[in-house]
Amino acid sequence: MDYDVVIGLEVHIQLLTDTKIFCGCSTRFGDTPNTNVCPVCLGMPGVLPVLNEKVVDFGIKLGLATNSTISEKNIFARKNYFYPDLPKGYQITQYDYPLCQKGFLDIDVDGRTKRIGITRIHMEEDAGKLIHDERQDLSYVDFNRSGVPLLEIVSEPDMSSTSEAVAYLKELRQLVMYLGICDGNMEQGSFRCDANISVKPKGALDYGIRTELKNMNSFRNVQNALEYEISRHVNLLEEGKQVEQETRLWDANAGLTRTMRTKEESHDYRYFPEPDLIPLVVDVAWVERIRKTLPELPRDKRYRFVKDYGIPMYDAEVLTQQSDIADYFEACLKFIDTPKDVSNWIMTEVLRVLKEESIDIAEFNITPKMLSDMITLIKKGVISGKIAKGVFEDMHRTGKDPSLIVDEKGLLQIMDEGVLKDKAKAILDAHPKEVKSYKDGKKQLLGFFVGQLMKETRGRANPKLANKVIKGLLEG
């Protein structure tokens, strides 16, 4: 039997605020455990939380970027449960009155566009972090993370394949990074995803029973976990068994999911309005103030690049991965009007250097003008594309302008047919055996001779002309 796959995602993003959501403690990652704590985030009795306004700003920002309705009336709620990383015994979150509702995100998968509904986005606090030391059979708890602000983004069950789920996550991650509200780091857990998945007989109206998957800290893990879980569901149904509604943990090493706990219901949490915080009113002025700060969104930028610059969608995707790279690309186009050439150089050489040296484009010493000037030198035939690679390295090493490097090193391309002819003759004279083979029909030796000529000119011969000259001498 054929099955439909149904996936809905819950994403938690850690917000890039300096301080926590209900106290003034730092949110910095990686500090000595339990140094960024105070009575509020440690849940001491008698203390009062005070809402960090920036968290609301960020939530509105994401709400607007996902076409959501921003709620005027916001109520915080207590979600009660016991766990050693939660000293208060409850988490402050939003329940009936989330900050954003009924939004959507458009994603592109396999050349199609699909609209994924966003049910809600709400603000909440993170819990502390348990660190298990298996050698000592001990667990430690670090409360630096408790009270770090989160947004939870809950999608509709609108995704019908693992590739759609991954595309949605990538789009959302890029979006929150563009908005500057989250660093998107999945390994360190600032962008985390829980995946709800079910299957049903093809075309059936009712959804199947779902499981919720946790512990996937990369796109690859999400993909693998979902694929594993889909086939586990299908196999159960094929055997006439039932899927159990539960929360399962992905074990990346073993490549499988394991039961973590049976699914809790919301009434288990005894949600009730947080008595220590007054209702939060987000008025139109606040929303409009935030709307003015929205940057061009990644998907809009991607489509604009294709439309305005005539580059392939693939290039546009790579270039807009980070907005500062996209800005660099556009800055180059102030000096040169061949976008595809610029795109090629950025996608290969520039991104390679950034990666090798683990630096941002802001720290990269080749300015848009230098790169564009160098590409212009190729266009004008002053240097060959091959020589340009070396010029690029020199620019990066010395910070000098490309034309200066070309002058100083005598890298001017040899376009003079007479000069190349003389050199080519000498090469043919030095290789009588190869010349004879060529004349006997071994035409592929042409490449050998051209190679020799390139070597002789240290790559400066114009490749087309080199070919022509050698061919002329051998066949003339």
Q: Give, as ranges, the residues between 2 and 21 that touch ligand ADP (CB under 6 A).
A: 6-10
Interacting partner of 196 out of Zn ion, ligand ADP, none (Cβ under 5 to 8 A depending on kind): ligand ADP
CB of 237 to ligand ADP, least distance (A): 14
CB of 191 to Zn ion, least distance (A): 23
Stretch that binds Zn ion, among 22-30, 382-390, 399-407, 456-464 (CB under 5 A): 22-30
Interacting partner of 9 out of ligand ADP, Zn ion, none (Cβ under 5 to 8 A depending on kind): ligand ADP
If binding is defined by CB under 6 A, does position 210 make contact with ligand ADP? yes
Per the CB < 8 A criterion, the answer to whether 224 and 252 are in contact is yes
Which residues lie closer than 8 Å to 376 by C-beta, 6 or more apart? 335, 336
Contacting ligand ADP (CB under 6 A), which of 81, 83, 140, 207? 207
By the 10 Å C-beta count (0-12 exposed, 13-18 middle, 19+ buried), 332 is classed as buried
Residue closer to ligand ADP (CB basis): 262 or 358 = 262
If binding is defined by CB under 6 A, does position 121 make contact with ligand ADP? no
Alpha carbon 361 to its chain centroid, in Å, reads: 16
Interacting partner of 299 out of Zn ion, ligand ADP, none (Cβ under 5 to 8 A depending on kind): none
Q: Which residue is nearest to ligand ADP (CB)?
A: 8
Q: Are strands 211-216 and 272-273 parallel, antiparallel or unpaired?
A: unpaired
φ/ψ (deg, to 5) at 124: -160, 175
Interacting partner of 41 out of Zn ion, ligand ADP, none (Cβ under 5 to 8 A depending on kind): Zn ion
Q: Are strands 211-216 and 246-251 parallel, antiparallel or unpaired?
A: parallel
CA 239/CA 137 separation, integer angstroms: 40
27-66 mask for ligand ADP (x: CB under 6 A)?
A: ----------------------------------------
CB of 251 to ligand ADP, least distance (A): 21
H-state helical runs in 357-458: 368-379, 385-398, 402-409, 417-430, 432-439, 445-456
Contacting ligand ADP (CB under 6 A), which of 4, 85, 108, 156? 156
CB of 100 to ligand ADP, least distance (A): 14
Interacting partner of 10 out of Zn ion, ligand ADP, none (Cβ under 5 to 8 A depending on kind): ligand ADP
Contacting Zn ion (CB under 5 A), which of 5, 23, 62, 383? 23
Per the CB < 8 A criterion, the answer to whether 27 and 20 are in contact is yes
Which residues lie closer than 8 Å to 197 by C-beta, 6 or more apart? 5, 6, 7, 210, 211, 212, 213, 226, 229, 230, 233
CA 352/CA 346 separation, integer angstroms: 9
Interacting partner of 25 out of Zn ion, ligand ADP, none (Cβ under 5 to 8 A depending on kind): Zn ion
Which residues lie closer than 8 Å to 192 by C-beta, 6 or more apart? 11, 12, 13, 186, 217
> CA 51, 54, 56 angle in degrees (round to 5)?
70
CB of 48 to Zn ion, least distance (A): 12
User: 195: closest CA among 175, 185, 207, 210?
Assistant: 210
Contacting Zn ion (CB under 5 A), which of 41, 154, 197, 388? 41
If binding is defined by CB under 5 A, does position 148 make contact with Zn ion? no
Contacting Zn ion (CB under 5 A), which of 5, 25, 166, 195? 25
CA 106/CA 66 separation, integer angstroms: 9
User: 102: closest CA among 55, 150, 53, 156?
Assistant: 156
CB of 7 to ligand ADP, least distance (A): 6
Instruction: List the structure tokens of 286.
Output: 């606040």
CB of 53 to Zn ion, least distance (A): 16
CB of 107 to ligand ADP, least distance (A): 15
If binding is defined by CB under 6 A, does position 157 make contact with ligand ADP? yes
179-198 mask for ligand ADP (x: CB under 6 A)?
A: -----------------xxx
CB of 232 to ligand ADP, least distance (A): 14
> CA 115, 121, 127 angle in degrees (round to 5)?
135
Which residues of this chain interact with ligand ADP, rule CB under 6 A?
A: 6-10, 154-157, 196-198, 207, 210, 266
Q: Using CB under 5 A as the criterion, which residues of the chain lie in contact with Zn ion when the complex forms?
A: 23, 25, 38, 40-41
